[in-house]
Amino acid sequence: MISNLYLKKGKEESLQRFHPWVFSGAVHHIDGNPEEGDLVRVFSADGRFIAVGHWQIGSIVVRVLSFEDIDITDAFWAERLGVALDVRRAIGVAGREDNNTYRLVHGEGDNMPGLVIDVYGRTAVMQAHSVGMHYCREAIAKALKQVMGNELDNVYYKSETTLPYKAELGQENGFLLGSSQEDVAVENGLKFHIDWLKGQKTGFFVDQRDNRSLLERYSCGRSVLNMFCYTGGFSVYAMRGGARLVHSVDSSAKAVDLVNANVELNFPGDNRHQAFAEDAFKFLDNMQTPYDLIILDPPAFAKHRDALRQALRGYTRLNAKAFEKIQPGGILFTFSCSQAVNKDQFRMAVFTAAAQSGRKVRILHQLHQPADHPVNIYHPEGEYLKGLVLYVE
Ligand code: SAH
């Protein structure tokens, strides 16, 4: 039985502008006793249907699936996934020989709040961030196969670390469809091992594809330092771009193994590359020879709003070290993937770092997440990745 939730008077306004969340403070009462992950129907105080979505525990109590009064069936998932695939074809990341790595579903950006699906060749890796999506995982996998047909053999479910831990679902990662040992995917003609079994996120950072391409254009003849390299996406592009030398740094020894494997996969025996398992801050402090091009792509320093001020200081400290050390005429690619830090705040943090170093700095490009990580215009919170490309005199 679906519960009916009634909003306080006037609290339907943001939902009528299609913002897809109901906050706990907006709820007047609920007819029924929903458990986390159940479907609930949302009504205004005067009894008008507003939306249907997944109930969850916390400050967001409903994530909206539809603003129409419909049943959430297998056909619903097939329709939503079909639209998502059409969008990826329209932007030219799906259905290509030289690129089979892309994000098919980006949560609210694709009107499927709490769900992420990344495609790596013939395998889709699915990640649920809500209990509601977790309960729908089999239906979604089935619909995905229906929509992608022969293009898809395997669906790997990887939600061990993304589901609310308090829900105590005890979910283990594993295949919902097929099973595959083949772990090489292609991004813009470059090959990458994707560790969907144990890797971070869905195994790869798909969101830097366009920014890696831009970096490739700047790499020719330069010495490149790729900080926070993880699987070495930027390193491999820099090598194809003709970098003179590429150094990759990550504090995780496993990441260093991954970057070495990916460089070997694309450029066997190429001795321009070297990887270091070291803390980024220490590496910059101890660095003797300055580089011509530095990439700073750290993990989210602010996972939530409370950590904002400290995170901004972290970005300033990190960027200041790069400004101190980069060659005159050097290029800095600097990023933040913290959703809690907005574009202006990040730019201010980097501005502060530049001012501290006293270097002359020009902004060449302002970067963001790619088109397969779309932002729902009614849900600006979906914007998270920002970057600057700087020329340091
Ligand atoms: N640039 C990568 C993604 C970076 S993810 C890509 O394009 O795929 C962030 C990485 O930073 C992780 O691999 C993590 O191991 C690493 N990391 C976290 N803290 C670090 C630190 N203090 N020093 C160096 N690496 C760190």
User: 187 in ligand 1 pocket by Cβ < 6 Å?
Assistant: no
Q: Quick one: which atom of ligand 1 is closest to the CA of 231?
A: 8
CA distance 100 to 77: 22
User: 121 in ligand 1 pocket by Cβ < 6 Å?
Assistant: no
User: 192 in ligand 1 pocket by Cβ < 6 Å?
Assistant: no
H/E stretch holding 4:
strand 3-7
User: 228 in ligand 1 pocket by Cβ < 6 Å?
Assistant: yes
Give yes or no: residues 160 and 49 share one domain.
no
Residue 214 in tokens: 């831009």
- Strand order across the beta sheet in which 49-55 lies: 21-23, 60-66, 49-55, 39-43, 3-7, 27-31
What residues are labeled active site?
337
Contacts 24+ apart (CB under 8 A), 377-380: 378/17, 378/18, 378/19, 378/20, 379/19, 379/20, 379/21, 379/108, 379/109
CA–centroid distance, 284 to ligand 1, in Å, is 14
The residue to mutate among 209, 227, 228, having the most atoms of ligand 1 within 8 angstroms of its beta carbon, is 228
Q: Indicate the residue among 39, 66, 93 that finishes a domain.
A: 66
* Amino acid code (one letter) for 184: V
User: 101 in ligand 1 pocket by Cβ < 6 Å?
Assistant: no
The residue to mutate among 118, 187, 202, 251, having the most atoms of ligand 1 within 8 angstroms of its beta carbon, is 251
Give yes or no: residues 223 and 362 share one domain.
yes
CA–centroid distance, 229 to ligand 1, in Å, is 6
Q: What was the pLDDT predicted at 183? A: 87
Backbone angles phi, psi at 19, to 5 degrees: -70, 130
User: 314 in ligand 1 pocket by Cβ < 6 Å?
Assistant: no
CA–centroid distance, 319 to ligand 1, in Å, is 15
H/E stretch holding 3:
strand 3-7
CA–centroid distance, 141 to ligand 1, in Å, is 30
**If we measure between CA atoms, which residue out of 198, 153, 193, 140 comes closest to residue 172?**
198
Give yes or no: residues 31 and 84 share one domain.
no
Sequential pLDDT tens for the chain (393 residues): 799 999 999 999 999 999 999 999 999 999 999 999 999 999 999 999 999 999 999 999 999 999 999 999 999 999 999 999 999 999 999 989 899 999 999 999 999 999 999 999 999 999 999 999 999 999 999 999 999 999 999 999 999 888 887 778 887 889 999 998 888 999 999 999 998 878 888 889 999 999 999 999 999 999 999 999 999 999 999 999 999 999 999 999 999 999 999 999 999 999 999 999 999 999 999 998 999 999 999 999 877 777 899 999 999 999 999 999 999 999 999 999 999 999 999 999 999 999 999 999 999 999 999 999 999 999 999 999 999 999 999
In-domain check, residue 373: yes
Give yes or no: residues 209 and 335 share one domain.
yes
H/E stretch holding 120:
strand 115-120
User: 16 in ligand 1 pocket by Cβ < 6 Å?
Assistant: no
In-domain check, residue 254: yes
Please check whether residue 155 is in contact with residue 176, taking contact to mean a CB–CB distance below 8 angstroms: yes
In-domain check, residue 197: no
Give yes or no: residues 51 and 111 share one domain.
no
H/E stretch holding 310:
helix 308-325
User: 195 in ligand 1 pocket by Cβ < 6 Å?
Assistant: no
CA distance 366 to 335: 10
Q: Assign residue 128 the CATH number of its domain.
A: 3.30.750.80
In-domain check, residue 198: no
CA distance 387 to 365: 8
Give yes or no: residues 146 and 168 share one domain.
yes
Give yes or no: residues 100 and 240 share one domain.
no
In-domain check, residue 194: no
Give yes or no: residues 167 and 273 share one domain.
no
CA distance 284 to 148: 45
Instruction: For ligand 1, atom 22, name the residue with the nearest CA.
Output: 279
Q: Assign residue 9 the CATH number of its domain.
A: 2.30.130.10
In-domain check, residue 222: yes
In-domain check, residue 123: yes
User: 299 in ligand 1 pocket by Cβ < 6 Å?
Assistant: yes
User: 205 in ligand 1 pocket by Cβ < 6 Å?
Assistant: yes
CA–centroid distance, 232 to ligand 1, in Å, is 10
The string of DSSP codes covering 68-112 is: S-----HHHHHHHHHHHHHHHHHTTSSS-SS--EEEEEEGGGGT-
Phi-psi region of 95 (alpha: psi -120 to 50; beta: other; left: phi over 0): left
Give yes or no: residues 10 and 88 share one domain.
no
Q: Is 252 helix (H, G, I), strand (E, B) or coil?
A: coil
Give yes or no: residues 116 and 153 share one domain.
yes
Give yes or no: residues 215 and 302 share one domain.
yes
CA distance 4 to 337: 37
CA–centroid distance, 248 to ligand 1, in Å, is 10
pTM: 0.95
Give yes or no: residues 358 and 281 share one domain.
yes
C-alpha 153: how far from chain center? 23
Q: Quick one: which atom of ligand 1 is closest to the CA of 297?
A: 1
CA distance 255 to 278: 11
Q: Quick one: which atom of ligand 1 is closest to the CA of 208?
A: 7
Q: What was the pLDDT predicted at 120? A: 95
**If we measure between CA atoms, which residue out of 323, 334, 329 comes closest to residue 393?**
329
Q: Indicate the residue among 120, 154, 188 that finishes a domain.
A: 188
The string of DSSP codes covering 364-392 is: EEEEE--TTSPPPTT-GGG---EEEEEEE
CA distance 47 to 42: 9
Number of separate domains in the chain: 3
Q: Indicate the residue among 188, 221, 239 that finishes a domain.
A: 188
Rg (CA), the chain: 22
Contacts 24+ apart (CB under 8 A), 364-370: 364/331, 364/389, 364/390, 364/391, 365/214, 365/389, 367/210, 367/211, 367/214, 367/333, 367/335, 369/207, 370/93, 370/207, 370/209, 370/210, 370/211
In-domain check, residue 199: no
Q: What was the pLDDT predicted at 208? A: 98
Q: Which domain holds residue 263?
A: 205-392
CA–centroid distance, 320 to ligand 1, in Å, is 18
